[in-house]
Amino acid sequence: GEGTVKNKSTYWLTFELEWRDFMRFQCVKHGDQIFKIEGISHRKWGWVGEGEAFERWKRGETGQPLVDANMRELALTGFMSNRGRQNVASFLTQNLYVDWRLGAAYFEEALIDHDVTANWGNWHAAAGVTGGRVNRFNMIKQSNDYDVNGDFVRLWLPQLERVPAPKVHQPWTLTAAEQLEYKVGITPFGAPAGANPSYPQKIKEAALGGMGRGEEGG
């Protein structure tokens, strides 16, 4: 009508409402298959169960700052942005190959705005078990696109508060001299803290295309 304005914001509002409804219809159509590890596509992929990788992700100690900052925010507030949810879900399922249902269950427990169809439907998509395209997000690109100065990361990871961008997004590249300068120790996971606050070395990621994914692009 007269005075109606279409812009980027209205586009994304409409898109997200349509996506919400799509997830609801998908869950109605497929029923409890949405909760099964192989998903509606019945993909017979291998997954890692509960263990160190999942616990480090859950606690925000993967050594990948963008992931860790979002997970710390979730643990402390019960909230995470839509972009953050996509990033941490991609990292858990596509970089660590951890059973996506563990991530979905943790979100169900932690989110203050949890919705069954939105949560499980989106995790289902992040895991690549819908039969559609599999997205493995590049965390450094995501960091530079959405937190170029590192303000969000430093807010939730105070150990890195003195580390400048772009190194704040790749703390595993800090030299010993830089760690002293920025008063942070990049240490093996679980190692005793030193004189300065410690941040864990980056977790070992899964090999691309492993655990049965092969040509399917997992």
- Largest distance between two CA atoms of the chain: 65
Mean of per-residue pLDDT scores for the chain: 91
Active-site residue numbers? 16, 19, 47, 82, 100, 123
Query: Using CA atoms, how far apart are residues 183 and 197, in angstroms rounded to an integer?
Result: 7
| Mean pLDDT of the 58-78 span | 98
Look at 22-31, 140-149, 194-203 and tell me which has the smallest mean pLDDT. Answer: 22-31
* pLDDT at residue 217, as a whole number: 38
Q: Is the pLDDT of residue 28 over 80?
A: yes
Mean pLDDT of 195-218: 78
- Residue of 135, 190, 184, 194 lying closest to 164 (CA atoms): 184
93: tokens are 């399922």
- Residue 42 CB partners (closer than 8 Å, separation 6+): none
Cα–Cα distance between 166 and 169 in angstroms, integer?
6
